[in-house]
Amino acid sequence: MIPEEESPPGGEADADGGLPLLLLPCDGGSVRKGCDPLAQTQRSKLQHRRARINQQINKEMRMRAGAENLFRATNNHKVKETVALELSYVNSNLQLLKEELEELNSCMDVYQNDSDSISVPMVPLGLKETKELDWAEPLKEMIWEHYGEDGALYESEIKDLVELRQAMRTPSRNEAGLELLMEYYSQLYFLDNRFFPPNKNLGIFFHWYDSLTGVPSHQRALAFEKGSVLFNIGALHTQIGARQDRTTLQGVDCAIEAFQKASGAFNYLKENFSNAPSLDMSAASLNMLVRLMIAQVQECVFEKVILLGAQSDFLACLQLAQEAARVEEVYSLVYQTMTQPHVKDYVPFSWTTMVHVKSEHFKALSHCYAAMALCDCPPASDVDLPEHEKAFLQFHVTPPQGPDVRLLLQDQEERRKLGKAHLRKAIMRHEEAMRIHSLCKILRKMDILQEVLCFAHKRSLGKYSEIDHEEDFFETADAPDIHPKTHQRPEIKSPNFSKVKVTDIFHRLGPLSVFSAKNKWLPPRTVRLVRGESGFGFTLRGDSPVLIAGVIAGGCAADAGLKEGDYIVSINGKDCKWSKHAEVVQLLKVAGDEGADVGVITLQYSEGQSVVDKKSSAMGPGVAGGGGSSSLLKSNKENCRKTLMQSKGASSLLAWGKRSKRSKNSSSSSSYSLPFSAMGDNELAC
């Protein structure tokens, strides 16, 4: 399946970072490719600068570590002074690089849409950078030692894996880029099962840089690779959401969907990944990111209500005011999260300031729309008055001073007084938002945000001057806060791994139910089978691979050395790991009286139990082999395939700190739609 691209193959460059590279699918290879890393677009330049700063930070940190070790080791006073001076230079360089990276992370305008319309910019995340990885030698060694095959025969598969990982480093900013990341993420499931045994590591170090600080981290655990890719899935969703044109209903809906999926990716990572080596994947940081994405969803919901509603209607204005109050509430929660000790020194100051500005801005908007409802909308008719009264009773956190609600809504002068109080509070909040905005050097360069704040401030000032009378001698009362309320609550959408179907790159090694890193077996052996008068003398069960369920004592199979529980992996040189029961029977039938060379393996378990002992509860009584191929055709099947059912909770999905416990009596297929789901309980007939 070739995914949809924002620009046709061979067409114009994608606005996010390069030409979409599409190749025809090769043997087991992926059709999804990343962007051209040499394409000089705004986003690619940003990522190149991020990679360069990450490398410089890595270099400076190595120098600092060496200097600190020397400072602790030496007793020479002059050497200590020289090292201390060098450390001050290194720390100064690190601080400058940190500030440069912070400014880079604050370049939100690059990720916004190219529309001429003015809208509040959203906060996107840059992708985590990683180093190139050499899979070849460790995988070849594992294939030779564990699977007993020549690793050189799998160079094509290793090349596909290397190309897939290289491509996922530069995903396009669209659905194709997300599918690319999800495909690699799914392939890591197969790699984990095939090449990472519980008590051994391959000696591969996975290097990733922190998304915000650029500090490098590395681990041997494949879970670190999975977590980093999942983080980039969430980050790419934020970039897709930020680029939407939110002046249209379609753009707002797309932005809501993208930010909800981003929150789901970060939340899934937080719940399933522990002991993170980098700060961006710590529980505190991920919790902050989830709340930030939810706040941005709520902001998009507010914009959607503006596009749908009539602002001259009393109830519509009340709804807008409450929606704005809800946005202010969630951004206030994000600001509190960002100012906590574990997050405060990590999050860019421009992000914290932006969130604080938005909190004040939307609080001002809530009071502004409340004033518009009271001053611009005509009093309700007798028919509509009960509905308006009911809505207004639930509008304020505390009842406003003055007459009761019914009298207030019917008296134009009382409405003007309360509206004036709301406008006064709106202007104060607008001015506070502009003051906070002016404190951040990076935000001062963001013209769009400044235009939005100035426009809203001028609108409130203009409205206030319209309703302010010279003969007003009463003191304007303090307007009560507005009760936050929304008609569409944000939804945290976990990643849907079933959306992208992938094929195990190393499927030639055989079904995962048998040929996995957790299983051990005796070296493969080849036996010569010649059919006797009463047949071959054994029974078969199951598919992929076919199991020898029973061997008749004194028969041809027993004399040749076949054992109960052996798996047939080849017949006369033909690979049979993925062969169906009927196909194996046919190959034996074709061999006839001349006999056949049958390759088999004997699976071993750490508990010392044989395969048949393990599967005795799931097997019925065997059918003795008598009349040659006819007895094989009548034999029962054992290794039935099981359907992967989608789990309803994250707890049953792949655990980050633990290996998933897969059923030992189930066979795997080379193609899965849900590589992280639990096995089904009911076996399917093979």
591 vs 415, more confident: 415
Calpha distance 5→9 (Å, rounded): 8
Output the pLDDT for position 470: 67
What does the DSSP 8-state code read for residue 641? B
**Lowest-pLDDT range, 123-137, 517-531, 544-558, 658-672?**
658-672
User: Which residue do the tokens 């620009």 mark?
Assistant: 7
Alpha-carbon distance values, 136 to 154, 159, 162, 170, 183 (Å): 9, 8, 9, 22, 20
**Lowest-pLDDT range, 96-110, 182-196, 309-323, 440-454?**
96-110
> In the structure, what pLDDT confidence band is assigned to residue 41 with cuts at 50, 70 and 90?
very low
* Number of Cα atoms under 13 Å in the Cβ half of residue 317: 19
Alpha-carbon distance values, 423 to 300, 316, 427, 464, 480 (Å): 24, 18, 6, 6, 12
Total-model pTM: 0.75
Alpha-carbon distance values, 604 to 202, 213, 514 (Å): 22, 47, 10
3-state secondary structure 525-557: EEEEECCECCECCEEEECCCCEEEEEECCCCHH
Mean pLDDT of 86-90: 79
Calpha distance 87→71 (Å, rounded): 9
- List, for residues 232-281, the tens digit of each pLDDT value: 999 999 999 998 999 899 999 999 999 999 999 999 999 998 888 888 99
Determine what percent of the chain falls in helix, strand and coil, rounding each to the nearest 5. 50, 10, 40
Output the pLDDT for position 251: 92
Tokens of 77: 């006073």
What does the DSSP 8-state code read for residue 23? -
Say yes or no to pLDDT of 111 above 80: no
> In the structure, what pLDDT confidence band is assigned to residue 3 with cuts at 50, 70 and 90?
very low
Say yes or no to pLDDT of 123 above 80: yes
Give the residue from 434, 474, 559, 504 showing the smallest Cα distance to 672: 504
- List, for residues 489-543, the tens digit of each pLDDT value: 999 999 988 888 889 999 999 999 889 998 888 888 888 888 877 778 888 888 8
Alpha-carbon distance values, 464 to 357, 566, 573 (Å): 22, 87, 89
672 vs 303, more confident: 303
**At 603, which helix (H) or strand (E)?**
strand 596-604
Say yes or no to pLDDT of 644 above 90: no
480 vs 447, more confident: 480
> In the structure, what pLDDT confidence band is assigned to residue 107 with cuts at 50, 70 and 90?
low
**Lowest-pLDDT range, 98-102, 108-112, 219-223?**
108-112
Decide: residue 579, CB within 10 A, 0-12 exposed, 13-18 middle, 19+ buried.
buried
**% of the chain at pLDDT higher than 90:** 35
Output the DSSP codes for 79-123: HHHHHHHHHHHHHHHHHHHHHHHHHHHT-GGGGS---SS--PPP-
652 vs 313, more confident: 313
Decide: residue 180, CB within 10 A, 0-12 exposed, 13-18 middle, 19+ buried.
buried
Reported for 203-208, long-range contacts at CB under 8 A and 24+ positions apart, including other chains, are 203/138, 204/133, 204/134, 204/135, 204/138, 206/130, 206/133, 207/130, 207/131, 207/133, 208/128, 208/129, 208/130, 208/278
- List, for residues 378-411, the tens digit of each pLDDT value: 888 888 899 999 999 999 999 888 788 888 888 8
Question: What mean pLDDT value characterizes the chain?
Answer: 78
336 vs 213, more confident: 336
Mean pLDDT of 408-437: 92
Calpha distance 494→261 (Å, rounded): 6
